[in-house]
Structure 1
């Protein structure tokens, strides 16, 4: 590591954050993980990189020993977005949001934008488990007429969610659409599984005009996303089938990979 390495703090040390840390280390990225934030005491954590300090409150971002992070990456759930995002942006740091369902209701995004303007930081939205968000966002510059986002997962991935009251997940013989509504409604009702609906909405038509369908499919072998868009640019159909994260079947390997890409793009000289 050199003095010019990008300094990063991770909020959370669960399955996704650990995978991000491991991938950055394996790829020898020009990144220095200077802090990991969790509610647990440092002694209860394992696998923290050497030289990385444990912090437990947002105020710790700007005090104590160690380098200050230039980029703060949230990977801990939507309850952590508001306090850690406010602290990071108020300190002029850039803030990457994984739990975008935090923006599904209330004025949080607008408040973050005000802080970013005042203090010179940026709010970064990684594509998460999605692909083609760059194309959808580019198309929105000319105008979109319709965006539909379908999220298809095996029944087991929907356990522990309101899908259990919408259908008998264990008895399904074919694909079943158990939810149809807006991106705002989907993210509010299914914050872990439909978090990505906020990303496609922010890239395209917004939370209230983006159509979302949630599907339980016993034939599904991974977590799939299908985005259909129409507009002045033409038409597009994007489909991605992700391998579930080994330590958390509700998340995809691509979720961690997209965070690694975001961090490496902030640290490198070639941005792709």
Structure 2
């Protein structure tokens, strides 16, 4: 029988709550959250009471004392504070707020130094496995075309600074941005974790091309990946569905974390 995977959850917002809810509903998954890292301990305690969970609320620096598996579902701003102690302690870190990696690339070197694992859980993008395989040959083009719900982009500085009218996106796609993955992650750090994930799996932040549109006619974020290499050419599209609690995040994100946790103690691995 597969061992129980015990982990610390850092962040108890929309996605973190979905992770806990999924574990409670599916006890056969053999996953157990043993502690929570949260900035607002009072708010976190209320959520734990609602879930009927009696586990400690701790600081990120304490997390490695509770488990060597740390799940980050926090924010762009707190990304480094959450995962750096875990990396230094040699933990297996599963992270989602990887838009923050663009300004914290030294964390990758830190993971190598301390023999840690920094795993990016990104179920929102198709084709990453075939891209990693194609990278063993010569990859010429990696392009991501994303259509995002306009409400997800409201309040972003890039939108304000470029006088982009998102109201038109209610009826048709509105062009937002074209450039490198590095630029996309810097302009939209809270939304374009996908750009960083795609870049790390493929040809890097500066060579990966990103196009962004606001589109209110869709059910949720739509991502199309185009890959051209000497071993394969690929076009894949994923239509993600938004969370019923927060439309800025997709339902598949929490599921990708559960899938990553299940893999840790799985006796079979699928994919390269």
Per the normalisation by structure 2, the TM-score is: 0.89
Residue equivalent to 2:61: 59
Determine if the alignment matches structure 1 residue 170 to structure 2 residue 173.
no
CA drift at 1:26: 1.7
Q: 2: CA distance between counterparts of 1:43 and 1:169?
A: 33
Aligned counterparts of 1:44 and 1:259: Cα–Cα separation in 2? 20
The DSSP-based 3-state class of the residue aligned with 2:224 is strand
Q: Of the candidates 113, 118, 130, which is equivalent to residue 113 of structure 2?
A: 118
- CA contact under 8 A between 1:74 and 1:96: conserved in structure 2? yes
Say if 1:154 and 1:218, in contact at 8 Å, map to a contact too: yes
Query: Which residue, out of 85, 88, 92, partners 2:86?
Result: 88
- Which residue of structure 1 lines up, in the alignment, with residue 248 of structure 2? 250
How much has 1:42 moved relative to structure 2?
A: 4.2
Distance in 1 (CA, whole Å) between partners of 2:81 and 2:150 is 33
Deviation at 1:153, TM superposition (A): 1.8
The equivalent residue for 1:19 is 18
Q: Aligned ranges for residues 30-49 of structure 1 at < 5 Å?
A: 30-42=30-42, 44-48=44-48
Deviation of 1:59 after TM superposition, in Å, equals: 2.1
Which runs of 5 or more residues in structure 1 are unaligned? none
Provide runs of 4+ in structure 1 moved above 4 Å: none
Alignment match, 2:98: 100
RMSD: 2.0
Larger CA deviation: 123-132 vs 146-155: 123-132
1:217 paired to 2:220: no
Structure-2 change in CA distance of 1:244 and 1:126 (3 Å): same
The answer for unaligned runs of 5 or more in structure 2 is none
Q: Give aligned pairs, total.
A: 263
Q: Structure 1 CA distance, aligned partners of 2:43 and 2:154?
A: 32
Q: 1:262 aligns with which of 256, 260, 263?
A: 260
> Mean alpha-carbon deviation: is it higher for 223-232 or for 172-181?
172-181
Cα deviation, 1:13-64, whole Å, max 9, x if unaligned, reads 0000100111122222212201110111246533325242111x2222245x
Mapped partners of 1:3, 1:195: distance in 2: 31
